[in-house]
Amino acid sequence: MNSYDVIIIGGGVIGCAVAREISRYRLSAAVLEKELDVACGNSSRNTGMLHAGFTYKPSSLKAECAVEGNKEFDLVAKELNVPFRRTGKVVVGFTDHDMENILKYKAIGEQNGVEGLEIINKEQLNQLDSSAGGEFAMYAPSSGILDPMQYTIALAENACQNGVDFHFGQLVTGIERQGDLYEIKTSKGSFTTKWVINCAGMYASEVSEMLGYPNYPVKGFKGEYFVLDKRAGQHLNIPVYPAPNDKGGFATHATITIDGNVLVGPDSYVVEDREDYSVTKDHMDGLIADGQKMFKHMKREYFIRNFAGIRWKRYNPETGEILDFLLESDESHPNTVNLVGIESPGITCALPLARRAVKLLADAENPSLNPDFNPNRKGIEKFSEMTHEEQKNAIEEDADYGEIICRCETVTKAEILAAINNPLGVHTITGIKNRTRATMGRCQGGYCETRITELIERELGIPMEDVRYNKEASYLFTGKVRG
């Protein structure tokens, strides 16, 4: 079907959260995504912190949505069956100036409604985590950690199960108003729709212009990371952030991930290229130096991978001031909702922002509720997290649980097959990786990548040569290695 009531451009966490909120109504809706899966942009290139909300300007959309998103997340994680842990966070300091800034942001946090912020001394900090650097800290008990890929996938799958279509490999190239409808041109064809919601992340300003809104100036702040293996994770209980700078920004931090790895990063520097996620030696050296100040067990032998993400911030070109998230809809651009500059804390704010976006549409359309809407979604059960008894039962019921495909992360054939048959119809290697953690361990897919490819071929009938790693042309095998 190419004609909808609502089309959402972009399948990052914001587009998928909007899709889920739209599916509460009896409306036909689709997400158009240029990549081959959801969570291929910055929604998979971040720290995965559920932020508490203490660095954002009071009454800003960032502050309002962060606090709201933080408070509701236990329920959201339960509904969507995604892993989440309210670890708390420490913001550590070394100098009097650090203490001044920490106190400043503690006061802002309290104004924003963040509960439980507390200044702790070195002894208390050591009790919370002896691996954390710092002479003192602010403890924020409401911060938490989640897997941003799993969260985005869960939002999308829940939207899909409630009736939203997902079209991948559809780069939106133009939008034209035709009568009461919009015609959206893509790299593969065209779609018509009554409403358009712009969730295009790094290209949101360009899509904004396609809709007749300004091409808002945005600046890219790139941040690089180290991923440390789970041996490092055994030393860290809680995310450790440095005291914020005078503008409320955080330098390199050390964060335990929901799966037990440690992320060290991101640093921050301005870039032009919208999607240059390369990592560089100079920045790696900086991360090591800064990371050691936060995490005493930062050692080279733990490094398994690097990645980078880019925060696209809206700014005032005259003053350089960084601006709030933009969420707008007006009569001179009928039936559109425009979201631009959704940088950090976009993961934390995704559902509150989506509710606000969808309310603009619902107030105008007054659509009836979807009587079949189900907020609950079931994820793929992890063999590695089952008790021995549960593992035994799982293998008895389905022998595929007895075959380990990814040795590093103990991912079974049954889980890989469940991921291959995912509701969104995604069948790239990174699609399987983000749904199961296969290839994310110490060997980074050296052992299991070809076995996963083989399973995709067998299960879906896609020849191995046509299986892609992540992008349109990222074929894994071309030609013959051996006869």
Ligand X SMILES: Cc1cc2nc3c(=O)[nH]c(=O)nc-3n(C[C@H](O)[C@H](O)[C@H](O)COP(=O)(O)OP(=O)(O)OC[C@H]3O[C@@H](n4cnc5c(N)ncnc54)[C@H](O)[C@@H]3O)c2cc1C
Give catalytic residues, as residue numbers.
Answer: 51
- Closest to ligand X by CB, 262 or 394: 262
In the complex, least distance from residue 220 CB atom to ligand X, rounded to whole angstroms? 9
481's CB contacts (< 8 A; 6+ apart) are none
Q: Which is nearer to ligand X, 133 or 345 (CB)?
A: 345
Q: Confirm or reject binding of residue 352 to ligand X (CB under 6 A).
A: no
Q: Is 203 in the site for ligand X (CB under 6 A)?
A: yes
CB of 176 to ligand X, least distance (A): 15
201 binds ligand X (CB under 6 A): yes
Among 20, 41, 125, 182, binds ligand X (CB under 6 A): 41
| Cβ neighbours of 107 (radius 10 Å) | 13
Q: Which stretch binds ligand X (CB under 6 A): 47-55, 121-129, 396-404, 415-423?
A: 47-55
The two structure tokens encoding residue 42:
């910055």
Which residue in 6, 7, 8, 9 binds ligand X (CB under 6 A)?
Answer: 9
Options 193, 335, 348, 453; binder of ligand X; rule CB under 6 A: 348
Say whether residue 223 binds ligand X (CB under 6 A): yes
Query: Quick one: which segment of 37-45, 161-169, 244-252, 387-395 binds ligand X (CB under 6 A)?
Result: 37-45
Comparison of 269 and 447: residue with beta carbon closer to ligand X: 269
Give yes or no for residue 311 binding ligand X (CB under 6 A): yes
Nearest to 382 by CA among 361, 404, 411: 411
**Residues within window 165-194 making contact with ligand X, judged by CB under 6 A:** 171-172
Binding status of residue 419 toward ligand X by CB under 6 A: no
309 touching ligand X, by CB under 6 A: yes
Residue from 19, 32, 77, 153 in contact with ligand X (CB under 6 A): 32
Question: CB-wise, 51 or 413, nearer to ligand X?
Answer: 51
145 binds ligand X (CB under 6 A): no
C-beta closer to ligand X: residue 367 or 425:
425
Among 7, 36, 90, 202, binds ligand X (CB under 6 A): 202
Q: Which is nearer to ligand X, 202 or 360 (CB)?
A: 202
Note whether 307 and 242 are within 8 A (CB).
Answer: no
Give the C-alpha separation, 118 to 139, whole Å.
5
* Nearer of residues 195 and 401 to ligand X, judged by Cβ: 195
Based on the shown chain and the rule CB under 6 A, indicate whether residue 468 belongs to the binding site for ligand X.
Answer: no
The answer to whether 48 contacts ligand X (rule: CB under 6 A) is yes
- Output the smallest distance, CB 16 to ligand X, in A: 7
Contact 129, 90 (CB under 8 A): yes
Q: Minimum distance from CB of 275 to ligand X (Å)?
A: 8
Per CB under 6 A, 88 contacts ligand X: no
What is the footprint of ligand X within residues 439-458 (CB under 6 A)?
A: none
* Interface region with ligand X, contact rule CB under 6 A, candidates 3-11, 230-238, 397-405, 471-479: 3-11
Say whether residue 46 binds ligand X (CB under 6 A). Answer: yes
For ligand X (CB under 6 A), the number of binding residues is 41
By beta-carbon proximity to ligand X, the closer residue of 253 and 413 is 253
**Phi/psi at 32 (nearest 5 deg)?**
-105, 120
Q: Is the Cβ of residue 290 or residue 415 nearer to ligand X in the bound state?
A: 290
- Quick one: CA dihedral 421, 426, 432, 436, positive or negative? negative
State in angstroms the smallest separation of the CB of 297 from ligand X. 21
Give the nearest residue (CB) to ligand X.
346
Asked if residue 290 binds ligand X (CB under 6 A), the reply is: no
Query: Mind spelling out the 3-state secondary structure of the chain?
Result: CCEEEEEEECCCHHHHHHHHHHCCECCCEEEEECCCCCCCCHHHCCCCEECCCCCCCCCCHHHHHHHHHHHHHHHHHHHHCCCEECCCEEEEECCHHHHHHHHHHHHHHHHHCCCCCEEEEHHHHHHHCCCECCCEEEEECCCEEECHHHHHHHHHHHHHHCCCEEEECCCEEEEEEECCEEEEEECCEEEEEEEEEECCHHHHHHHHHHCCCCCCCEEEEEEEEEEECHHHHCCCCCCEEECCCCCCCCCCEEEECCCCCEEEECCCEEECCCCCCCCCHHHHHHHHHHHHHHECCCCHHHEEEEEEEEEEEEECCCCCCECCCEEECCCCCCCEEEEECCCCCHHHHHHHHHHHHHHHHHHHHCCCECCCCCCCCCCCCCHHHCCHHHHHHHHHHCHHHHCEEECCCCEEHHHHHHHHCCCCCCCCHHHHHHHHCCCCCCCCCCCCHHHHHHHHHHHHCCCHHHCECCCCCCECCCCCCCC
Q: Which residues bind ligand X (CB under 6 A)?
A: 9-15, 32-35, 40-43, 45-49, 51, 171-172, 199-203, 207, 223, 266, 309-311, 342-348
